[in-house]
Amino acid sequence: MAGGNVELKLVGQWASAFVTRVKLALHLKGLSYEIIEEDLRNKSELLLSSNPVHKAVPVLIHNGKPICESQIIVQYIDETLVGVGPSLLPADPYERAVARFWAAYIEDKLVAPWDRVFRVKTDEERGEEMKQMLAAVDVLEGGFKECSNGKCFFGGDCVGYVDVILGGAVSYAKANEAIFGAKLFDAAKTPLLAAWMERFCELDAAKAVLQDVDTVVKHGKFLVAKNSARASNN
Partner 1 sequence: MAGGGDKLKLLSTWFSPFGSRVQLALHLKGLSYEYVEEDLMNKSQLLLESNPVHKKVPVLFHRGKALCESMVIVDYIEEAFPDAGQPLLPSDPYKRAIARFWVAFMETKLVEPWMRMLDGTRTRAEMTEGVKQMLAAVATLEGALGQCSKGKPFFGGDSIGYVDVALGGLLVWVRASEVLLGVKFLDAARTPLLAAWSERFASLDAAKAALPDFGRVIKHAMMRRGAAAAVLAANN
Residues that bind partner 1 (CB under 8 A): 53, 62, 65, 67-69, 71-73, 75-76, 79-80, 93-94, 96-97, 100-101, 104-105, 139, 142-143
Closer by beta carbon to partner 1, 67 or else 205:
67
Closer by beta carbon to partner 1, 80 or else 215:
80
User: What is the bridge-based pairing of β-strands 8-12 and 34-37?
Assistant: parallel
Q: How far is the CB of 137 from partner 1 (least distance, A)?
A: 13
Q: Which residues contact 154 (CB under 8 A, 6 or more apart)?
A: 99, 102, 143, 144, 147, 148, 160, 161, 162, 163, 166, 196
Q: How far is the CB of 32 from partner 1 (least distance, A)?
A: 19
Closer by beta carbon to partner 1, 68 or else 159:
68
Closer by beta carbon to partner 1, 121 or else 221:
121
Number of CB atoms found within 10 A of residue 31's CB: 15
Q: How far is the CB of 100 from partner 1 (least distance, A)?
A: 5
Which strands, in side-by-side order, build the sheet including 65-68? 34-37, 8-12, 59-62, 65-68
Closer by beta carbon to partner 1, 14 or else 101:
101
Bridge partners, 65 (sequence order): 62
Closer by beta carbon to partner 1, 71 or else 190:
71
Q: How far is the CB of 145 from partner 1 (least distance, A)?
A: 13
Q: How far is the CB of 98 from partner 1 (least distance, A)?
A: 9
Q: How far is the CB of 54 from partner 1 (least distance, A)?
A: 8
Task: Check if the beta carbon of residue 190 is closer than 8 Å to that of residue 137.
Answer: yes
Q: How far is the CB of 189 from partner 1 (least distance, A)?
A: 18
Whole-number Å distance between alpha carbons of 141 and 145: 6
Closer by beta carbon to partner 1, 140 or else 179:
140
